[in-house]
Amino acid sequence: MSVRLAEGSPTLGGLIDRQIAHSGPMSVAAYMQLCLGHPTLGYYRRAKAIGRTGDFITAPEISQMFGEMIGLWLALLAPQFPGQAFELAELGPGRGTLIADALRTLARTAPEAAITGPTLIEISDVLRAEQMRRLAGFTPSWIETVQDIDPEGPPLIMVANEFFDALPIHQYLKQNGQWHERLIGLRDGQRIWGLDPTPLPIHSLPASVRDAEDGAIWETALQAASVMDVLAERLKARGGVLLVIDYGYEKTATGDTFQAVAAHAYADPLDEPGQADLTAHIDFEALAAPARALGLEAFPLLTQRDFLCALGIESRTAALMHTHPTRADEFTQASNRLIGPDRMGHLFKCLCVGTSGLVPYPFATLPEPAP
Ligand code: SAH
């Protein structure tokens, strides 16, 4: 498994194995962090992962309609910042497709909207270069972490599509009535699963999972929580909203969602570190907690289907089919993939948090004017 690419240049697998041999088994979080974020060999630092020819395809890469709906979402929010610019930011913009499609739609539908940015939070140099190409004609700037978002400035509107699923998680498994952290170790040169012998104190677990059956797995995304702490502070200080779109579950629960995808197929997460995309589903209840704790509003979750349909994706599909009749099948299929209940429509959820007073349609609607 720890084959060398060339004399003197170990693979990421080789480096991980050496670290385990030296310091003992590592947490899933440490493993994920290395696999995805290692400065030179991590998954997001190198290859062009996203898209038809990459390892996985995301909603904005399926169809321009996804980014267009986000553009309409922004157009509906913009008038709520009268006379004031807002800063648009995106976390993990991938190839820049979503934000480019959204900005084009925003310019057409709300040309008066005063926006600064987009500010793009991205660790990958390869993807930054791609984003720059897509955003020719706009004025993007880049930062590496959410800490770099200015604590002062105009209200923020932030978007994160399939960003949080890439942040490391810890896993705990219940055995003989106690919860133990799952660790990755080595036996006979092979990476294997194991458990930390010291159990986790029971009060560290959310009440809703404590009493699960033996064999249950509970996941916690500590880094996602820290990112949300910072985003919530910035929103509190500057005003604005955050839209998170990702696959996940509404309430904290047990379940093993740690997975690897390479070349559009599931892979063993312990094989070939750095060569596959590693992700975990989002616990949206836990993700929203830091925002709630700061007194921000966390609107009820919407499925991706309900979000996109409320913004008019079905009429947009019909309009595109009418304008480009030879591509009608392509548009129908893309729309089905995005909103089909057995496709992305129900698995993907949309979370919106923001400062009170803002009415981000379709999470909330303005009252009807009195007759
Ligand atoms: N939103 C895009 C891409 C999703 S892939 C789309 O929908 O197509 C995840 C993105 O997050 C990539 O751009 C990746 O490089 C970036 N990313 C992953 N971990 C990150 C981190 N810790 N900080 C900043 N960006 C990160």
Tell me: pLDDT of 187 over 90: yes
Question: Residue 157: CB within 6 Å of ligand 1?
Answer: no
Does 9 have pLDDT greater than 80? no
pLDDT of residue 8: 61
pLDDT, tens only, 304-329: 999 999 999 999 999 999 999 999 99
4 pLDDT band, cuts 50/70/90, is very low
| Per-residue pLDDT at 106 | 96
Separation of CA 166 and ligand 1 centre (Å): 7
User: pLDDT averaged over the chain?
Assistant: 94
Q: pTM of this prediction?
A: 0.94
Q: Is 230 in the pocket of ligand 1 (CB under 6 A)?
A: no
Q: Can you give the pLDDT at residue 46?
A: 66
pLDDT in tens, 79-90: 998 778 999 999
Averaged over 354-369, what is the pLDDT? 89
Regarding the beta carbon of 54 and ligand 1, being less than 6 Å apart is answered no
Q: Kindly tell me if the per-residue pLDDT of 51 is higher than 50.
A: yes
CA 207 to centroid of ligand 1, rounded, Å: 31
By most ligand atoms within 8 Å of CB, the mutation choice from 34, 90, 124 for ligand 1 is: 124
Q: Give the 3-state DSSP-derived string for the chain, with helices as H, strands as E and coil as C.
A: CCCEEECCEECHHHHHHHHHHHHCCEEHHHHHHHHHHCCCCCHHHCCCCECCCCCECCHHHHCHHHHHHHHHHHHHHHHHCCCCCEEEEEECCCCCHHHHHHHHHHHHHCCCCCEEEEEEECCCHHHHHHHHHHCCCCCCEEECCHHHCCCCCCCEEEEEECCHHHCCCEEEEEECCEEEEEEEEEECCEEEEEECCCCCCHHHCCHHHHCCCCCCEEEECHHHHHHHHHHHHHHHHHCEEEEEEEEEECCCCCCCCCEEEECCEEECCCCCCCCCEEECCEEHHHHHHHHHHCCCEECCCEEHHHHHHHCCHHHHHHHHHHHCHHHHHHHHHHHHHHHCHHHHHHHEEEEEEECCCCCCCCCCCCCCCCC
pLDDT score for 81: 85
Q: Is the C-beta atom of 94 inside 6 A of ligand 1? A: yes
**pLDDT at residue 11 above 70?**
yes
Evaluate: CB of 117 within 6 angstroms of ligand 1. Answer: no
Q: Is 171 in the pocket of ligand 1 (CB under 6 A)?
A: no
Question: What pLDDT does residue 294 have?
Answer: 97
- Ligand 1 centroid, distance to 47 Cα (angstroms): 13
Res 2: pLDDT: 45
Instruction: Give the residue-averaged pLDDT of 46-68.
Output: 85
Q: What is the mean pLDDT of residues 295-311?
A: 98
Tens digits of residue pLDDT in 92-141: 999 999 999 999 999 999 999 889 999 999 998 889 999 999 999 999 99
User: Measured in angstroms, how far is the CA atom of residue 91 from the centroid of ligand 1?
Assistant: 7
| Average pLDDT rounded to a whole number, residues 332-352 | 97
Does the pLDDT value for residue 145 go beyond 60? yes
Confidence band for 3, pLDDT divided at 50, 70 and 90: very low
**Given pLDDT bands bounded at 50, 70 and 90, which one contains residue 71?**
very high
Residues 217-267 pLDDT 10s: 999 999 999 999 999 999 999 999 999 999 999 999 999 999 999 888 899
